Amino acid sequence: MQEKTISVAAASAALRLNIHRKRSKILRYNTTGTNQITLDREALEDVKPFTYLSSIIDEHSGCDADVKVRIAKRRAAYLQLKNIWNSKQLSTNTKVRIFDTNVKTVLLYEAET
């Protein structure tokens, strides 16, 4: 991993791009290696869960934690509208449209990342 970090830093420098050492983090995924990774003689911070573009990634389950959080948010959105689901005054078609606009959007928000 250290060699790859050096290689990326060299390729970036050739294009006049700099890697921000304070903002760069290391997430070890499915590895037993514990060697410290450095960039310009400065150690990069090891992190357990990592959030990138509002997605959560952790060292053991990859994006499973992110999926669980999104499902919990969808469930909360669904339960907040419990009175609507139980209403006899609204048609099934209206309830489906409310579900699509309020519950599905919470579940699918940023799902493409």
How many Å separate Cα 65 from the centre of its chain? 8
**Domain residues for 33?**
1-47
Of 101, 103, 95, residue with least CA distance to 78: 103
Lowest mean pLDDT among 34-43, 56-65, 74-83, 96-105: 56-65
| Whole-number Å distance between alpha carbons of 5 and 14 | 14
Of 47, 4, 7, 1, residue with least CA distance to 24: 47
What's the full length of the chain, in residues?
Answer: 113
| Number of Cβ atoms within 10 Å of the Cβ of 49 | 13
Using pLDDT thresholds of 50, 70 and 90, give the confidence band for residue 110. low
Q: Are residues 105 and 64 in the same domain?
A: yes
Q: Are residues 42 and 93 in the same domain?
A: no
pLDDT at position 45 is 86
pLDDT at position 33 is 74
pTM of the model: 0.48
Q: Are residues 38 and 56 in the same domain?
A: no
Q: Average pLDDT, stretch 85-95?
A: 93
pLDDT digits (tens, 9 = 90+) for 21-32: 888 888 877 777
From 24, 47, 70, give the residue that closes a domain: 47
